[in-house]
Amino acid sequence: MSDNILKDIEEFLELENYTDYEFKEVCGLTFAFKREIVTIKGRISSASIAPVGIIYEENGKYYMAPLDEAVNINETVKEYVEKCI
């Protein structure tokens, strides 16, 4: 066993974390949702979907009004532009 017990446990359980964003347009506003999924040995252990902000266009640029202070605004807007524009 190595010195990093947490890493050993993650490898033994085949623990995987997936995070991505989904976007839904409603009444001209684009809502951003963060989806997080944790799998253990290929099976879903937990999953969550949380609203993180509203994306809007102003003067040809995209901005986000965050609903959660912990969200990375630049990362979310970049993914929105890559997926939806």
Amino acid at 66: P
Residue 67's CB is within 10 A of a number of other CB atoms, namely: 13
Q: pTM of the entire structure?
A: 0.75
Three-class SS state of 27: coil
CA atoms of 31 and 12, how far apart (whole Å): 37
CA atoms of 80 and 49, how far apart (whole Å): 16
pLDDT value for 51: 92
pLDDT in tens, 64-73: 899 978 778 8
